[in-house]
Amino acid sequence: MKIATFNINGVKARIETLCDWLDDSAPDVAILQEIKSVDDGFPRQLIEDRGYTLETHGQKGFNGVAILSKLPLEDVTRGLPGDDADEQARWIEATVVGDVAVRICGLYLPNGNPAPGPKFDYKLAWMERLLARATALLADEMPALMAGDYNIIPQGMDAARPQVWRDDALFRPESRAAYRRILNLGFTEAFRTLEPGAGHYSFWDYQAGAWEKNNGIRIDHFLLTPQCADLLAGAWIEKDLRARDKPSDHVPVWVELRP
DNA sequence: ATGGCAGCTATGAGCTGA
């Protein structure tokens, strides 16, 4: 089973890119972020025509996450537990029922800039709630993964120019420590586990020729529970998509799970 | 990453993103 996470930066602006990608790359499951659309505004028919079941958790204008699957989806939940007042659509869960059932959590972690400030506080508070959900997932002792745009540069090697990001919310010590606390519960970060080298990125800014200069960062990640890590057969970044017409500023990151 | 780009919005100049 091949699973991809992809921050598409607006489903209405990216629908042609998204459909071409589904046709060409054929993920069994796609976890999308920044759909920037309410649920009713999602071009559902184009997705279903391609054989996908679609579950969305949208919001007007910003944020918004979705899960697409060629296999049945069960037990869908929306919203990260822990703060009923949080209205930002950044979390969706569903169980994919294939040869083995896998709990899929799709996330769009807050950016947090400028730091310090209220947006940075929201990021860290959100990560505390993520830690709690991650702890509960581990306690279930089932194959499960949390994937999406983490807005975290885990290490210096995950940025072309790490010194530029030193004070940024994506790289500040508090952000990376919060990310490590989750990892250290016992999760496996799929890509880094299989690819120890530097120079692999999942985002290049639209500005200042970042793509042409390969001035990227790696901020889209798959975190696997031990039972899911046992199934890990591959992990890669679909970098080529960034060079196409009307690209997102992110590219898809993949894992393959094999029972 | 510095403004420069891109997408969104009670259509418009302002917000958000990373």
Give the distance from CA A129 to its chain's centroid: 17
Angle at A57 between CA A142 and CA A7, to 5 degrees: 85
The band of A120, judged by pLDDT with boundaries at 50, 70 and 90, is very high
Looking at the annotation, which residues of A are catalytic? 108, 149, 250
Q: CA A9, C1' B11: Å apart? A: 21
Q: In this complex, which residue's CA is closest to the C1' atom of nucleotide B1?
A: A164
Nearest nt to the CA of A41 via C1' is B8
- Asked if residue A149 belongs to a known ligand binding site, the reply is yes
Q: CA A180, C1' B9: Å apart? A: 37
Nearest nt to the CA of A61 via C1' is B8
Residues of chain A above pLDDT 90, percent: 100
Nearest nt to the CA of A9 via C1' is B7
Instruction: State residue A239's pLDDT score.
Output: 97
The band of A127, judged by pLDDT with boundaries at 50, 70 and 90, is very high
d(CA A257, CA A96): 12
Domain boundaries, chain A: 2-257
Neighbour count for residue A20 (Cβ, 10 Å): 13
The band of A257, judged by pLDDT with boundaries at 50, 70 and 90, is very high
Instruction: State residue A41's pLDDT score.
Output: 94
Are A61 and A37 a contacting pair, CB within 8 Å? no
Half-sphere exposure of A215 (CA within 13 A, CB side): 13
Closest CA to A91 of A66, A116, A122, A54: A66
Q: In terms of residues, how long is chain A?
A: 259
Half-sphere exposure of A132 (CA within 13 A, CB side): 9
Q: Give tens-digit pLDDT for A153-198.
A: 999 999 999 999 999 999 999 999 999 999 999 999 999 999 999 9
Domain A2-257 has CATH 3.60.10.10: yes
Q: CA A103, C1' B13: Å apart? A: 43
DSSP helix, strand, coil percent of chain A (3-state; round to 5): 30, 30, 40
**Exposed e or buried b per residue across A53-71, where buried means at least 16 C-beta atoms within 10 angstroms of its C-beta:** bbbbbbbeeebbbbbbbbb
Residues of chain A above pLDDT 70, percent: 100
* pTM score, whole prediction: 0.97
d(CA A114, CA A120): 7
